[in-house]
Amino acid sequence: MNMPNAFRALIVLIVFLLAAPLVRADAYEAKLPAELNTAPRLCDYAPCTEVLPGASTFSERKGRPFYVEGYAEEAGKRRLVGYVMLSTDITDIPAYSGKPVVTLIGMDAAGRFTGSRILKHSEPILLLGIPESALVRFNQQYLGKFVGDNIEIGHSRPEEDIIGLDAISGATVTVIAQNQVMMTSGAAVARQVGILERTVRPPARYRETGARPDWAALVKEGSVQRLTVKPEQVGLPRGDEPFIELWFGHLNQPDVGRALLGDTSWNNLMAQLKPNEQAIFVIRSAGKESFKGSGFVRGGLYDRVQVRQGQDAFTFRDLDYLNLYGLAAPGAPAFNESAIFIIRSDAFSAAYPWKFIFLGNRVDRETGARSFANFDSEYWLPAHYLEGGRPEVKKPAPPWLRVWQTRTVEIAAFAALLLAVGVVYAQRDRLTRAATRTNKWPVNAFKYTGWVISIGFVGFHLMAQPSITQVLTWFHALLFQWQWELFLTDPFIFLFWIFIIVTVFLWGRGLFCGWLCPFGSLSELLYKIGGAAGLKRWQFKLPKRWHNRLKWVKYGVFAGLLAVSVFSMGLAEMLAEVEPFKTTFLVGIFNRSWPYTLFAAGLLGLSIFTERPFCKYLCPLGASLAMPTTFRWFGLKRKQECTSCKACAVGCGSQAIDDDGRIDQRECLHCLDCMVLYTDDHACPPLVQERKRRSKAGLAITPIGADGYYIPIKPVPAAKAAD
């Protein structure tokens, strides 16, 4: 099999892949009507009858957060069938793309889900690889389930009263976010309409000390909190000036209220409040965006701010607003917008934590579309201002933590694998010294075991194949908004990337690429099996001149993907199909359309005849890790004679040794064959020559030192004869 024919076949496969019809899923980045988010009659712009069967007429948006009532006409009378809600009217929980899945949800009058419709999503994994229908089938699991049930992703746990839902393999982050969207939206409406009981919290009992803290002290103790939104968080260019900077706090507590307003103003405020009514203040100290918005002008509703306590949301109308003319606390910042808002509900208690939420107008950098995004900051009155201190609050574990808790055994096994590989490789000098050119098993036993575990356990079972898409996602998160929760939701990929980052800067990319990458391991294992099965006569390497040219292709692929992602992350994710990882491990090589199957199968088939063709010439992930490899702390050792000796270069499968005997650590996959020769006095030419010279001269064969040479024989002067 000659080189031109083999790589001509590879090029044909790539062309097939890129020429495959990229059928865009119905809801992927769908263009929704602008009125969907603003029009009073939601169901004029959304298919409400699909999610609430039996309803023929629908009300305008009601309540806060919004919902729509659906009615059936029976004998000239209207019967309430249930409710319809648009998820983004209630929550904007982001999925893996960093954008919410816009979902229309139906719920009957008894609080059971009747249907859902994905109107728009930005999940590239549901565009290519995993069909959008998988998310539709996932949502169908909610049909008939009560909104007040404890529904989680994973196995049901009857002893804990938890109903489990089947996840979508390879889209864990997406379905966890979608579960939060469904349950948060349903519960918010169910509480408003009386299906779920409103939470009644014991009112706060304040302890008055007579202290008058200044502004700095109030901020330090947490009585005043700040909420800052940066321009990049709303899709605007970075800048020194925040998009908006807000300060807020609770005013009913006598010490805090008097410190902020002064005695007279605070007494006047308290005289206006009825029992169980609470007052908070808000000021804007920076930014040009108004927290009051324009809704209060049109309909008396302050649609940019709200307070949330647990599942209860509290919004403000014009009757809940009072002017705030100034702050009495010394050191208070200047402000250009201010308000006092009144919370009129016995469901709210200042003794418990609550969140102040600002709804900002976010611009999608790719499409220019505008949407609202929630930004919040938690507030909890300091314990010394409450009689008996703060009550005990048991907060539900965040979704990412529940994933870690339910997969503890697998996570521990995976972490042990990463640690074991790192420890073994750290002992490479001892392993390579124990091996010889004819017996490399002291090294290969560990390496081959790592391959098998990586392919079976990591790749096919855990589906924890790192990908260039994660590099692009992390790059954009660093540029715009970092969210730890987004990455913690997939514990295996999270741990894998910690391992990769640490080992790349210690030893270079070769430990991950050469020992633990599932696809790389599968590729090289096929090459080894092919050689053992009698195909060695057809196995080949590219001529050095071709290799030195083609190895740069993967860097071009990576640079291209990075550049495209700046303009369109969705397009970059589609082009990232140059990686066969999703086809091989995530979806299944026989579960995709023929171009993807042919591409992945072609690369694996070619791997039987040439060692790791994808890793050496196409892999954008390898290219992204090769660049920081330049700054590794430890490299493989070389001798002076390596500049002229070609013994190691002949056996280097990654062809990382140049004509001058230097190892290009960015291309090295750490097979360690050259390090075995480095200390093998029957294979390394300088050592062979020295061994023969000593044997001929009758000199002792000393151990080989750390520099790769025999320890020199130093003559010891004879003792002087006694007089």
The 10s digit of each residue's pLDDT in 478-491 is 766 667 777 888 89
Minimum mean pLDDT among 97-111, 164-178, 663-677: which range?
A: 164-178
pLDDT band at 295 (very low <50, low <70, confident <90, very high): low
pTM, to two decimals? 0.74
Q: What local confidence, expressed as pLDDT, does residue 588 receive?
A: 82
| Spatial distance between the Cα atoms of 206 and 112, rounded to a whole number of angstroms | 41
Q: What local confidence, expressed as pLDDT, does residue 327 receive?
A: 96
For residues 494-498, average pLDDT: 95
Q: What local confidence, expressed as pLDDT, does residue 369 receive?
A: 63
In contact, 362 and 326? CB cutoff 8 Å: no
Whether the predicted pLDDT of 103 surpasses 90: yes
For residues 425-449, average pLDDT: 94
Whether the predicted pLDDT of 116 surpasses 50: yes
Whether the predicted pLDDT of 228 surpasses 50: yes
520 three-state secondary structure? helix
Percent of the chain with pLDDT over 70: 90
Whether the predicted pLDDT of 11 surpasses 60: no
Tracing tokens 């990412």 back to the chain, one arrives at 400
Amino acid making up residue 78 = R
375 three-state secondary structure? strand
Dihedral angle over CA of 590, 592, 594, 600, nearest 10? -70
Most confident of 93-102, 411-420, 467-476: 411-420
| Spatial distance between the Cα atoms of 723 and 720, rounded to a whole number of angstroms | 9
- Express each pLDDT in 359-381 by its tens digit: 887 776 666 666 667 788 999 99
Whether the predicted pLDDT of 1 surpasses 50: no
404 three-state secondary structure? helix
Whether the predicted pLDDT of 537 surpasses 60: yes
For residues 13-41, average pLDDT: 65
Whether the predicted pLDDT of 25 surpasses 70: no
For residues 341-354, average pLDDT: 92
Whether the predicted pLDDT of 542 surpasses 60: yes
| Spatial distance between the Cα atoms of 395 and 274, rounded to a whole number of angstroms | 30
Minimum mean pLDDT among 8-17, 513-522, 533-542, 574-583: which range?
A: 8-17
Q: What local confidence, expressed as pLDDT, does residue 94 receive?
A: 74
pLDDT band at 568 (very low <50, low <70, confident <90, very high): confident
**Mode of pairing for the β-strands spanning 277-286 and 337-344:** antiparallel
Q: Is residue 9 left, alpha or beta, with left meaning phi > 0 and alpha meaning psi from -120 to 50?
A: alpha
Most confident of 33-42, 65-74, 420-429, 640-649: 420-429
For residues 102-112, average pLDDT: 95
262 three-state secondary structure? coil
Q: Which helix (H) or strand (E) holds 416?
A: helix 408-426
Structure tokens at 166: 């089947």
Percent of the chain with pLDDT over 90: 57
Q: What local confidence, expressed as pLDDT, does residue 145 receive?
A: 94
Whether the predicted pLDDT of 198 surpasses 90: no
User: Half-sphere exposure of 93 toward its Cβ, with a 13 Å CA cutoff?
Assistant: 22
Strand order across the beta sheet in which 224-229 lies: 224-229, 244-250, 277-286, 337-344, 321-322
Structure tokens at 117: 């419709």
Q: What local confidence, expressed as pLDDT, does residue 308 receive?
A: 86
Q: What local confidence, expressed as pLDDT, does residue 20 receive?
A: 43
**163, exposed or middle or buried, with CB in 10 Å at 0-12, 13-18, 19+?**
middle
Minimum mean pLDDT among 176-190, 247-261, 615-629: which range?
A: 176-190
For residues 462-486, average pLDDT: 81
Average pLDDT, the chain: 87
599 three-state secondary structure? helix
Q: Residue 64's CB: how many other CB atoms inside 10 A?
A: 18
